[in-house]
């Protein structure tokens, strides 16, 4: 038996945002490191074409981000607040993170200290919010770099150069997210080669019971499971 | 197997980050090219996985 975990909007936004982000890396890395990856723009037809693809992907990411935010807000106002509140960090998440790290170092924890995730674990919330804030920084600095002459009229020149450094610097930091995501969703021996939940929107009941026990209890109506 | 998985993952991560860091500092050598290419390889791997997931969505 399977349990509904993601709705159609979430599945579509994940697919569009993921494709956009990966395309942004694929075209952005050679722009930042031309001496190592200069063969990519050459294969794509030059830096002009690479920049155009980069901007189209950026536009798709912005649209999917706006759609996601509006969809969540409308859902919160007119349907249920639970969709939005489930992704907000809680004090429990901080303790879950601490205890998870302690488990990594094989610290003997009491039964009640062992993290029991709700619908989203502290790590999933961390990933969600890091993408949210990084995305915001990328969009702001990216728009400045997209229209440098317009911004030069209202901002000092140094700001444009700084925006470029921040944009490239955060791209390198966010590669960390891709590496982390690859290990969690693909190389994890329990899920190799792919975690299908985000595509089908459904999670096997056994997995929900094991990986998200508090969420499982909640959807079973609070009955003792 | 789990230990090997963890160590290989850590090693790849270290190579990628170190090479990006050195490239930002202006250094150019084979190690940096390999590290940056590994980062790109992860991006391509995720791309393939994404399209595979979308294409096989109804097969569960």
* ipTM associated with this complex: 0.86
Tell if the CB–CB gap between B50 and A22 is shorter than 8 Å.
yes
Nearest CB partner across the interface for B43, out of A22, A35, A186: A22
Which pLDDT tens digits describe chain A residue by residue (225 residues)? 889 999 999 999 999 999 999 999 999 999 999 988 999 999 999 999 999 999 999 999 999 999 999 998 898 888 887 777 889 999 999 999 999 999 888 888 887 888 899 999 999 999 999 989 999 999 999 999 999 999 999 999 899 999 999 998 888 888 877 877 888 888 777 777 788 899 999 999 999 999 999 999 988 876 544
pLDDT at A99: 93
For A110, list phi and psi in degrees, rounded to 5. -70, 160
The set of residues, in sequence order, having a beta carbon less than 8 Å from that of A42 and lying 6+ positions away, is: none
Residue of B nearest to A27 (CA): B40
A2-4/A202-204 β-pairing: antiparallel
pLDDT at A45: 95
Q: Which residue has the tokens 């159609």?
A: A8
pLDDT at A81: 78
Domain A2-219 - what CATH class? mainly alpha
Q: Which residue has the tokens 């850590």?
A: B10
> Which residue from A132, A128, A102, A133 is spatially nearest to A115, judged by alpha carbons?
A102
Residue of B nearest to A33 (CA): B23
pTM listed for this prediction: 0.88
> Which residue from A100, A122, A104 is spatially nearest to A113, judged by alpha carbons?
A100
Ranges of each domain in chain A: 2-219
Tokens of A147: 């229209």
Q: Which helix (H) or strand (E) holds A20?
A: helix A8-32
Nearest CB partner across the interface for A199, out of B12, B20, B57: B57
């Amino acid at each position: 038996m399977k349990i509904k975990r993601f709705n159609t909007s979430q599945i579509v936004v994940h697919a569009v945002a993921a494709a956009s982000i990966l395309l942004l890396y694929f075209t952005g890395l050679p722009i930042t490191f031309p001496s190592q990856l200069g063969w990519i723009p050459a294969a794509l037809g030059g830096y002009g074409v690479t920049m155009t693809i980069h901007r189209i992907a950026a536009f798709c990411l912005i649209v999917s981000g706006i759609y996601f935010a509006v969809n969540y807000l409308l859902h919160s106002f007119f349907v249920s607040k639970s969709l939005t509140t489930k992704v907000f960090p809680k004090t429990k998440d901080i303790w879950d993170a601490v205890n998870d790290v302690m488990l990594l170092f094989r610290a003997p924890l009491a039964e009640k200290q062992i993290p029991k995730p709700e619908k989203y674990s502290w790590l999933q919330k961390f990933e969600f919010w890091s993408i949210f804030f990084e995305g915001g920084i990328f969009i702001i600095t990216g728009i400045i770099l997209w229209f440098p002459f317009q911004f030069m009229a209202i901002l000092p020149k140094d700001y444009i150069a700084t925006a470029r450094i921040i944009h490239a610097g955060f791209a390198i930091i966010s590669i960390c997210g891709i590496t982390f995501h690859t290990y969690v969703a693909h190389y994890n021996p329990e899920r190799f080669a792919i975690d299908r939940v985000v595509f089908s929107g459904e999670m096997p009941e056994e997995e929900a019971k094991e990986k998200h026990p508090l969420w499982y209890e909640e959807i079973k109506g609070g009955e003792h499971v | 197997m789990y230990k090997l998985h963890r160590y290989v993952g850590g090693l790849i991560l270290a190579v990628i980050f170190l090479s990006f860091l050195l490239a930002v500092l202006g250094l150019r050598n084979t190690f940096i090219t390999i590290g940056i290419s590994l980062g790109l390889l992860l991006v391509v791997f995720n791309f393939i996985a994404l399209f595979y997931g979308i294409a096989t969505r109804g097969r569960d």
